[in-house]
Amino acid sequence: MKTGLQDSGRDTAAIVALAGDVDGSLVQRPTAAVLAEEQARLERARAFAVPLLTGQLLDTGEDALHHTEGVAAILQSIGASPSMLAAVYLVYVGDYLNRPEEAIGKAFGSSYAGLVGATRKLVQIQRNARDALVDEEMRAEQTERVRKMLLAFSKDLRVVLLRLASRLQTLRYYAQFKRDCPLVLARESLQVFAPLANRLGIWQLKWELEDLSFRFLEPESYKTIARMLDEKRVEREQVVHLLREQVHGLLKRHGIAAEVQGRPKHIYSIWKKMRGKQLDFDHVFDIRALRVVVPSVRDCYATLSVVHEAYRPLPEEFDDYIARPKANGYQSLHTVVYDERGRSIEIQIRSREMHDHAEHGVAAHWAYKEAGTKGYGGVSAVGDFEAQVAEARKAVLRQLLAWERDFAGQGGDAGGGVFDDRIYVFTPQAAVVELPKDATPVDFAYTLHTDLGHRCRGARVDGAMVPLNTPLRSGQTVEVISLKEGGPSMDWLNPELGYLRSPRAKAKVRAWFNALAQQQTIAKGRELVEKLLQREGRTATKLEDLAALLGFKSADALFDVVGKDEYSLRNIENVLRPNEPAPPQDDFIALKKSRADEGGSKGGVLVVGIESLLTQLARCCKPAPPDAIGGFVTKGKGVAVHRTDCSNFRQMAGRHPERVIGVQWGQPPADKATVYPVDVAVEANDRQGLLRDISEVFAKEKMNVTGVHTQSVRETAWMTFTVEVSDSARLAHVLGVVAQIPGVRVARRK
């Protein structure tokens, strides 16, 4: 009930204006042509949707067209533009199209298509979670739904506004046709949607969501309070009207320009006060209530003084929310006074700016703070428009973060919040970025763009320079300072320094260094191949043709395995000199046995099904027990034993499968030792003392080193150690120790 002089010009919720129009952006002052275009778009969307929606039923039992019209009417009542109303029709018609996003994108543009897709996904998530709820203890599904809602909001405010209006229309449907509303839906409306509308400042929706939900959850209590309100309605309206006239005249005599209104009564809020303060209906003070809106904060306190002089106040019912605002930014003075007949009445006193915030929500400080000409939807045309939009969106998101914490805290478990593991921060343009908890500016940069992450060298958080390993918090604004070119630091991969929290960012840094190492390996391999061609007098040979002849997809693929010492240059020589005799004896390695084994033994390698056949260990892959091995019959040199993962073995087996033969490791006598040479490759940052440190590890682990080859390329050391082992399985432990040496990037068997 409102009995006072209303300012009907302020009927657009600021959050609605902030949601934007067809492309999600705001305009300061659309022309008549733009408005006409919007209206035409609305009519075209409705004409497109009506034939498809007619006769269809939603899962709630509602007529689809009636529901759509109702949602559009609700949004129109809070000031939505024609473009947004067009979105309503397109969202609901999506359920009756084969490829809704594609069809709507072609007919109405990508922004509408994205809105349809986001809303449909959110609706499905809500349905699935609601269906999964079986008791009050199962809150995980609800919490996940809140997260999805928030993420949808961060991309497009229209999604949340549509869902709020849709839920209110559904509750109206159940009330109008006197049908029983599912309790889970009513409870969700009261616990999730109404608080969301409250945090966003869409008060018109908030109160009605609460009252209708309460009607279905507590039908007897609802009817009792409604009956009490109705019985005293005439008397109450008379009292409020009389007191409104008295207060308005009183303030006018004191030179205070005031707008005095009666305040509507909401059943759910009355019931909460009756229950929370253990009061009966007659002692709920704001059954009769006035709202006084004045120009300034000074006028608020002046009005309070005048009212308290004229009427007897109830001191314990005074609240100063101007000095101590509520969590969602609400400000006002609340007092309860008695009239001359001893009847209590609550009076709220607030400035115009406070009233705008109370009526229009957290975006109101942006939409109404500027003096001067107002643009579309109450948006000021004065000042830095984009900066105001950014600040407004940040304010809204902070309230949504607070709303989520409110919601998560209802269950009473300290660790149950959605954002225990996620944070939401802003770009300077107010785009929302989701990150893991304690993420850093480097994580933020990689989330925006891989190249920006590589070039990141500094950051400002809320305008202040901070170290790159500073943990971020929700609601902060982060600006990345980058070079024109460059790469990441190896320090970023050190978990003790705390530069990276995001697995995705860590993977991108590793990929950069892997690509750099591969480039160095390819350069090394190219150099070795080109030197070989020079020695052979074949410099005219095309490298791509040579690689194809050897079975590689490209020259770089050949250089890569050659640079890693995984492919013998002898294979290239054999191709360049096809008429040469078989490889010399040193291409194979005889088993090195202990001196006590001079007479031979039954250890070593056994050829399956053949006894006393000469076997040699291939030098290219140097197998050792318990490696999986295979044999290849050579010309005059017996069986060459390779590891089955050896690239040379795979290529020879592919060309001559008939020469492959099964082999297995023999069991050496217990009193006699057999050792095998194995090559180990180490890649590290080149530094003084590196070779000494690695050698000390091998000595400590009692592994004999029989050969060392080192090469340094662009401050990267490439080392190959030949060590003797009796069992290659033990080598993995030793390589793990080597990998812990400062500067070592990779330690692996070749």
pLDDT of residue 51: 92
Cβ distance 351 to 300 under 8 Å?
A: yes
User: Rounded to whole angstroms, how far apart are CA atoms 520 and 712?
Assistant: 10
Instruction: State the residue for tokens 């010309």.
Output: 635
Residue 706 above 50 pLDDT? yes
Beta pairing partners, 722: 679, 707
Own/partner long-range contacts of 170-174 (Cβ < 8 Å, ≥24 apart): 170/60, 170/62, 170/67, 171/208, 171/209, 171/212, 171/213, 171/216, 172/70, 172/212, 173/60, 173/61, 173/62, 173/66, 173/67, 173/70, 174/60, 174/212, 174/216
Q: Which of 57-71, 130-144, 330-344 has the lowest mean pLDDT?
A: 130-144
- What amino acid occupies position 547? A
The DSSP line for 160-180 is HHHHHHHHHHHHHHHHHTTPP
pLDDT for 9-51, tens place per residue? 344 555 555 555 444 444 444 567 767 887 888 899 899 999 9
Most confident of 291-305, 408-422, 624-638, 667-681: 291-305
- What amino acid occupies position 97? L
Higher pLDDT pick, 135 / 38: 38
Give Dmax over CA atoms of the chain in angstroms: 125
User: Rounded to whole angstroms, how far apart are CA atoms 441 and 406?
Assistant: 28
Residue 708 above 60 pLDDT? yes
Most confident of 29-38, 50-59, 334-343, 416-425: 50-59
Angle formed by the axes of helices 82-93 and 32-53, to 10°?
Answer: 20
pLDDT of residue 307: 93
The DSSP line for 518-530 is HHHHHHHHHHHHH
Average pLDDT score over residue span 442-469: 91
Cβ distance 290 to 347 under 8 Å?
A: yes
- Classify residue 486 as left (phi > 0), alpha (psi -120 to 50) or beta: left
Cβ distance 724 to 621 under 8 Å?
A: no
Task: Please choose, from the candidates 211, 145, 142, the residue with its C-alpha nearest in 3D space to the C-alpha of residue 174.
Answer: 211
Extended strands (E) in 557-614:
588-589, 592-593, 605-607
pLDDT of residue 119: 76
Cβ distance 36 to 44 under 8 Å?
A: no
Higher pLDDT pick, 338 / 430: 338
User: Rounded to whole angstroms, how far apart are CA atoms 505 and 438?
Assistant: 14
Task: Place 376 in a pLDDT band, splitting at 50, 70 and 90.
Answer: very low
Task: Place 112 in a pLDDT band, splitting at 50, 70 and 90.
Answer: confident
pLDDT of residue 377: 31
Q: Which of 19-23, 212-216, 704-708 has the lowest mean pLDDT?
A: 19-23
Higher pLDDT pick, 389 / 280: 280
Take residue 228 and report the two structure tokens written for it: 């009490």
Most confident of 24-33, 257-266, 418-427, 525-534: 525-534
pLDDT of residue 572: 82
Residue 234 above 70 pLDDT? no
Q: Which of 1-15, 147-161, 557-571 has the lowest mean pLDDT?
A: 1-15
Average pLDDT score over residue span 93-111: 85
* Pairing between β-strand 744-749 and β-strand 674-685 as defined by DSSP bridges: antiparallel
Take residue 162 and report the two structure tokens written for it: 């549509």
Cβ distance 427 to 433 under 8 Å?
A: yes
Cβ distance 432 to 421 under 8 Å?
A: no
Extended strands (E) in 274-386:
289-294, 312-313, 319-320, 333-338, 344-351
Average pLDDT score over residue span 577-588: 50
Task: Place 395 in a pLDDT band, splitting at 50, 70 and 90.
Answer: low
Percent residues over pLDDT 70 in the chain:
72
Take residue 372 and report the two structure tokens written for it: 């001067």
First to last CA, the chain: 84
Measuring CA to CA, how many Å separate 113 from each of 23, 39, 92, 107, 117? 11, 19, 12, 9, 6
Laid out side by side, the sheet with 629-633 consists of: 588-589, 615-618, 639-643, 629-633, 660-661
pLDDT of residue 378: 32
Cβ distance 53 to 64 under 8 Å?
A: yes
Secondary structure (3-state) at 228: helix
Q: What angle do CA 120, 125, 127 make, to 5 degrees?
A: 95
Measuring CA to CA, how many Å separate 267 from each of 52, 154, 273, 644? 38, 33, 10, 79
Whether the bond into 488 is cis, omega within 30 of 0? no
Q: CB atoms < 10 A from the CB of 700, how many?
A: 10
User: Rounded to whole angstroms, how far apart are CA atoms 346 and 258?
Assistant: 17
Most confident of 58-72, 529-543, 662-676, 705-719: 58-72
Higher pLDDT pick, 280 / 88: 88
Take residue 56 and report the two structure tokens written for it: 């269809």
pLDDT of residue 268: 78
pLDDT of residue 22: 45
Q: Which of 207-216, 254-263, 687-696, 713-722 has the lowest mean pLDDT?
A: 713-722
Cα dihedral sign, 98-104-110-115: negative
Higher pLDDT pick, 661 / 600: 661
Instruction: State the residue for tokens 């320094």.
Output: 497
Cβ distance 438 to 422 under 8 Å?
A: no
pLDDT of residue 388: 52
Average pLDDT taken over every residue of the chain: 76
Q: Which of 402-411, 478-487, 734-743 has the lowest mean pLDDT?
A: 402-411
Cβ distance 285 to 336 under 8 Å?
A: yes
pLDDT of residue 397: 60
Beta pairing partners, 588: 618
Q: Which domains does the chain have, with CATH numbers?
A: 14-202 (1.10.3210.10), 230-360 (3.30.460.10), 421-501 (3.10.20.30), 505-580 (no CATH), 674-749 (3.30.70.260)
Number of H-type helices and E-type strands within the chain: 27, 23
Q: Which residues, other chains included, contact 323 with Cβ-Cβ below 8 Å and sequence gap of 6+?
A: none
Average pLDDT score over residue span 183-192: 84
Task: Please choose, from the candidates 63, 64, 83, 67, the residue with its C-alpha nearest in 3D space to the C-alpha of residue 158.
Answer: 83
Task: Determine the distance from the C-alpha atom of residue 312 to the mean position of all C-alpha atoms in its chain, rounded to a whole number.
Answer: 55
Measuring CA to CA, how many Å separate 314 from each of 336, 339, 454? 6, 11, 64
Helix (H) or strand (E) holding 683: strand 674-685
The DSSP line for 59-117 is TTS-BHHHHHHHHHHHHHHTT--HHHHHHHHHHHHGGGSSSHHHHHHHHH-HHHHHHHH
Beta pairing partners, 347: 290, 335
pLDDT for 586-642, tens place per residue? 444 444 433 333 333 334 677 655 655 677 888 878 888 888 888 888 876 778 888
User: Rounded to whole angstroms, how far apart are CA atoms 91 and 103?
Assistant: 12
Task: Place 362 in a pLDDT band, splitting at 50, 70 and 90.
Answer: very low
Half-sphere exposure of 292 (CA within 13 A, CB side): 33
